[in-house]
Amino acid sequence: MGESYSSQLKAGAGPLVWPMALLGIIGLRAALALATKSPSFIVSSNVIIYFLLLLLATALAAGNAVQNRLGSRAFWIFLAISCGLWGLDQWLYLYYGFFLNADVPDNSIADLVLFLHVVPLMAAVATLPHRSRTGRRLYPMILNFLYLLFFWSFLYGYAVLPFQFLFPNAAGYALRFDFLYLLENLALVLALVPLALRAEAPWRSIYRNLLGACTLYTLSSTVANLAIDSGGYVSGKLYGLGLTASVCWFLWVPLRARQFPEAKLAASPSDGIQDSQASLWAMLAVIVISIPVVRQLFHGNQHPSIQIVRLLVALTTLVALASAAFFREYFAKRELAAHVSQAHDRLRLAMESGKSVGLDRDVRSGRDVWFGDLKSVFGIPADNYVGRAEDFLGRVLPEDRERVAKTLYEAMRGHQPYAAECRILQPDGTVRWIGTQGRFYYAANGEAERMLGIAVDISQRKQAEQALQDSTAALARVTRIAAMGELTASIAHEVNQPLAAVAADAAAALHWLAVQPPNLNEAREAVGRTIEETNRASGVIARIRSLLRKAQPELRPLNANEVIRETLLLADRELLADQVNVKTELAVDVPIVLGDHIQLQQVLLNLILNAIEAMKRSGGRRQLCIKSGKHDGGTLIQVRDTGTGIDPQNLDRIFEPFFTTKPGGIGMGLSITQSIIEAHGGRIQAATSSPQGAVFEFTLPAAGGAS
């Protein structure tokens, strides 16, 4: 209970403790400046407070770097370095003031350290930590820091250094340092403005606090430097309060980051754009450095020593920038090579797992490069194969070779992707099915110069398709046998009629032969009718046998009207027994279709028997209408009944396997019907007829367009 209350108290008080403490420090600093009359005490207390605050800011930023706060370790490292250099500058003031009892001389490194402490802060901002990335690289950030360090060091060495060490000039040195330091701080403030406006939380808050601290410090340091140059500045006075406040604000930045919960880093694009921008800035820096160098060479009127120092500084900076650029290119190329190698390995593993091969062809030279699972696809025991363009077609079976070559040629000429399925022969005699697809790439003149493609082993898919086709054919045969069971009466009637006629005609022939004298003409006519009726009975049995036999589909040109008439003859007895009025509207100009006679009979027979069953359940008038006609260059066949119709909720499921609305039905008839029609290149659909019943219609492409 106590622990829970304590944690709640810390959670509630934590966000307020540090701001109140920092405001208290600023208030204490203001009170000392107003109340204390001893200048030495004011100076000592101000420098000590300043140094301790910077030391604390360095420690907090370093702690955030160790903990990788907000997923940007590099940002906090550079911030810690900046605060550390700033703290070193204050330590030099403490050292000279407490231990040497002297002012910091102009030729010490204090001003150089103060000037350079802004560079790591710029590098921290240049890491763009608000762009969350996983696996961020450290070397580009270090090189960016070096670019900034070399550039600003050049400006310091060119503009300030000669007047600080070679020809000490307090007034000239102070003016140049103050101007360059102001320029440096303004550049940092301007870089922070768009980030503070556009970044998302939580970095928006970090950027805004950093912008406020930098802006306040820029204003306060400028006022302090002007006061120093005029000789009226006394450390610790009230007008130096802004410097203390800005340091407290800098201290608040790492503290503010600790108030945000840690978020998971999301993957984001690579640093390629940022790398190119850094290279662009490096080139601009070289141009900026070159301008004063050229001016120094042709228009320099300073002391020769100053010219030599400036030229040395410029050359040293250019060499340093070139070295940094070289290392950036070196690391970038090494990383690119690693990425390419990893991508190649991933591609190879993906191809091996998918039994596929990549194809890369130089169209002009005819050089082919194959890579991937060559063993499974082509029977080549290697990871790569280099050969000629003819090698691929040479492995394709002769039956498929011309078709594949034509597909490739037409795709190349038509600037279209290609896709083909074919059989290839492996060296050991194994035949494999492959599916290949890809595209051509063209030169400026429109000629093909490269082809990229992929070949996938689809043998298992082809085997599965064949097995499915065999199963569908077997199931269709079962349904035909079941349909024949329903047509037993019709079959008996169709066979009995010609047999009875045969018996009657044979008896008549015997009669005419027995009379004296024999009537040969009448006997001949009776025998002729006997032959006709025998052929009729044979035709009925042949149609029944063709429906029941197990045979592969045979596509041949057919007249759809003839198929309709023959199917109606098969179902004639059932139609008569159930008192169904049949109406046919068969167009005489229907196109010839390419199809299997038996399968199309099965489709029509299934639809007719379903219509009879539906009309028996409806209890109303029973009328069946079958139409044929032209449709989009093919043939449309429509079967309409006056039965119970189709529930609109079942229209989308009517062709699903095992879906049925008939008592005792298995739900395969319409599914098989749809499979047969689609195998012929057509489409079938069902709808509710008006005023009652259902309508099924299907299309069949003309013989010239069937595939």
Q: Rounded to the nearest 5°, which phi and psi values hold at 538?
A: -65, -40
Structure tokens at 422: 């074919």
pLDDT band at 273 (very low <50, low <70, confident <90, very high): very low
Q: Is residue 1 part of a domain?
A: no
The CA distance from 646 to 688, in Å, is 6
Q: Is residue 564 part of a domain?
A: yes
Cα separation values, 367 from 358, 380, 392, Å: 14, 17, 11
Are 439 and 414 contained in the same domain? yes
Q: Is residue 618 part of a domain?
A: yes
**Nearest partner of 367 among 382, 389, 384, judged by Cα:** 389
State yes or no: pLDDT of 6 exceeds 80: no
CATH number, position 634: 3.30.565.10
Instruction: Tell me what pLDDT residue 263 has.
Output: 57
Q: Is residue 338 part of a domain?
A: yes
Are 571 and 642 contained in the same domain? yes
Query: Which of 257-266, 537-546, 623-632 is predicted most confidently?
Result: 623-632
Q: Measure the CA angle with vertex 574, ends 570 and 577; round to 5°.
A: 145
**What length does the chain have?**
707
Cα separation values, 113 from 92, 609, 697, Å: 10, 99, 90
CATH number, position 360: 3.30.450.20
Are 123 and 257 contained in the same domain? yes
Are 21 and 150 contained in the same domain? yes
Helix (H) or strand (E) holding 281: helix 272-299
3-state secondary structure of 684: strand
Among 291, 323, 346, give the residue marking a domain's end.
346
Arithmetic mean of pLDDT over the chain = 78
How confident is the model over 678-702, as pLDDT tens digits?
Answer: 888 889 998 888 788 899 999 999 8
Domain hosting residue 410, numbered range: 354-457
Among 552, 570, 598, give the residue marking a domain's end.
552
Q: Is residue 381 part of a domain?
A: yes
Q: Is residue 5 part of a domain?
A: no
Report how many domains make up the chain.
Answer: 5
Are 342 and 437 contained in the same domain? no
Instruction: Tell me what pLDDT residue 65 has.
Output: 92
Cα separation values, 94 from 50, 130, 220, 242, 246, Å: 10, 37, 21, 20, 20
The CA distance from 76 to 138, in Å, is 13
Among 552, 577, 606, give the residue marking a domain's end.
552
How confident is the model over 9-31, as pLDDT tens digits?
Answer: 343 345 566 667 667 666 666 66
Are 576 and 537 contained in the same domain? no
Are 493 and 619 contained in the same domain? no
CATH number, position 182: 1.20.1070
Q: What percent of the chain has pLDDT over 90?
A: 15
45 contacts 32 by C-beta, under 8 angstroms: yes
Are 628 and 640 contained in the same domain? yes
Q: Is residue 3 part of a domain?
A: no
Q: Is residue 146 part of a domain?
A: yes
State yes or no: pLDDT of 660 exceeds 80: no
3-state secondary structure of 538: helix
Are 527 and 607 contained in the same domain? no
Mean pLDDT value of segment 403-427: 90
Instruction: Tell me what pLDDT residue 377 has.
Output: 82
Q: Is 148 exposed, middle or buried (0-12, 13-18, 19+ CB in 10 A)?
A: buried
Are 675 and 615 contained in the same domain? yes
- pTM, rounded to two decimals: 0.54
581 contacts 619 by C-beta, under 8 angstroms: no
Are 399 and 437 contained in the same domain? yes
Instruction: Tell me what pLDDT residue 5 has.
Output: 35
Are 58 and 145 contained in the same domain? yes
pLDDT band at 215 (very low <50, low <70, confident <90, very high): very high
The CA distance from 295 to 184, in Å, is 23
The least confident of 1-15, 37-51, 325-339 is 1-15
